[in-house]
Structure 1
Amino acid sequence: MMSETGDSHVPMPWGPVDTDVFAAWGQWAGGIGSIAAVVVALMLATRDSRSRRKEQKEQQAARAATVTGSTERKLDDGPFYSQWLALVISNHGTHPVMDVKIEDVKIRVGEVTYVKWKLAGGKADSSEPYLLAHVIGPQDEKFTSLFFEDAEGQKYVYEKHPIDITFSFLDAEGARWRRTGYGEPQRVR
């Protein structure tokens, strides 16, 4: 509204306010609203990104959990029908796994844990992992014979005692996973 002197004022409950001041308040309010909108948009984008990363990690871990290590008795179909213990790594997933390595094997018999083991070809427990397979395809498995020895070097006959197999592998995306028995797979790198 124009005053008698030609100044423009906006009537307010506390008194008239110059229109330029009133316009400046509107610009400040608009600027603060714009900044708040940017902050909220950034917060939502960050939360969405974290949620997607978490979901992706959960999916990768679920795929890694489809690779299992176990033992089973095998029966030779030769003339002696001998039984032997096989260490088996199975890929129940839909993608191949690569560079499958046996890192450690332990058997618990009562209170005793045997840590001396040998695989086919004489590969014994050591600091170097045993490469079981370069690739295990989807719905496939690889196995090797497994022997345990006691402190005197005598072979131990497996009688359904708990065996912990620690193995590692690369998934189809190139991530290395380590798993002991049926425990949760852990991403190594």
Structure 2
Amino acid sequence: MNLSPVQDVVDWGSVPDWFGAVGSIASVLFVYLGLRREIRARRTDELRIRATQARLVSAVAEIRGNSVLRVTVANESDAPVLDVLVLPRLVPPDEPDGPPVELGAVKQVRRIHGRDNHDLFVTVTGERRLHATDTVLVELTFTDHDGNRWRRIGAGQPEPAG
């Protein structure tokens, strides 16, 4: 028994009101997704522009004997790179997708001028012996002319080093 003069009926509105509400929500979502995509595209473009010099810095390792590596760091850009850290790593021959093994201590070069190469010799630590068929990746960490810090492994693309 209901003694209240107000009935327990809820007015859910009309169908056009529902379509209007759904349309409003959909348009806000559409604008949000478009804005998010634009922000990502701009960040990617900024990173690509910032990495222009970093893509011109590379390293190659050459096996010398069974316990020495010659690492050549090349700066093909016009500007110098600073605080270059070089870490050679061996790709395990029995597990190519496995984690590389560090071969020696990190070597540091304070500055490599533009259009210049710098050779480093790394003595392999421990009881590891190198073979001519071994694959060695070099991890480079350096600061470009604009003060951005980068990390590059082998021939991969440079990534910001945080």
Q: Same fold (TM over 0.5)?
A: yes
- Where does structure 1 lack aligned partners over 5 or more consecutive residues? 1-46, 76-82, 119-123, 125-129
Q: Which stretches of structure 1, 4 residues or longer, exceed 4 Å deviation after superposition?
A: none
Scaled by the length of structure 2, the TM-score of the pair is 0.60
The alignment's C-alpha RMSD in Å is: 3.1
| Alignment correspondent of 1:107 | 91
| Structure 1 residue 74: Cα displacement | 6.0
Q: Does 1:87 align with 2:87?
A: no
Match of 2:117 among 120, 141, 148: 141
Indicate the structure (1 or 2) with the bigger Cα radius of gyration: 1
Query: Cα gap change, 1:71/1:104 in structure 2, threshold over 3 Å: closer, same or farther?
Result: closer
Give the conservation status (yes or no) of the 8 Å contact 2:63–2:130: no
Give the conservation status (yes or no) of the 8 Å contact 1:132–1:142: no
Q: 1:58 is matched by which residue type in structure 2?
A: R
Q: Does 1:117 align with 2:113?
A: no
Alignment of 1:1-189 (within 5 A): 51=42, 54-73=44-63, 84-103=68-87, 105-111=89-95, 115-118=101-104, 124=105, 130-148=106-124, 153-189=126-162
Per-residue CA distance 1:58-116 (angstroms, 9 max, x = gap): 122132111112112569xxxxxxx9530121111111100001245233323387725
Per-residue CA distance 1:121-148 (angstroms, 9 max, x = gap): xxx3xxxxx3421100111122222243
Looking at both structures, which has the greater relative contact order when contacts are Cα pairs under 8 Å and sequence separation is at least 6? 2
In structure 2, C-alpha distance between the alignment counterparts of 1:114 and 1:155, rounded to whole Å: 13
| Structure 1 residue 179: Cα displacement | 0.6
Query: Cα gap change, 1:158/1:88 in structure 2, threshold over 3 Å: closer, same or farther?
Result: farther
| Alignment correspondent of 1:121 | none
Identity of aligned residues (%): 22
The count of residues paired between Structure 1 and Structure 2 equals: 121
- Where does structure 2 lack aligned partners over 5 or more consecutive residues? 1-37
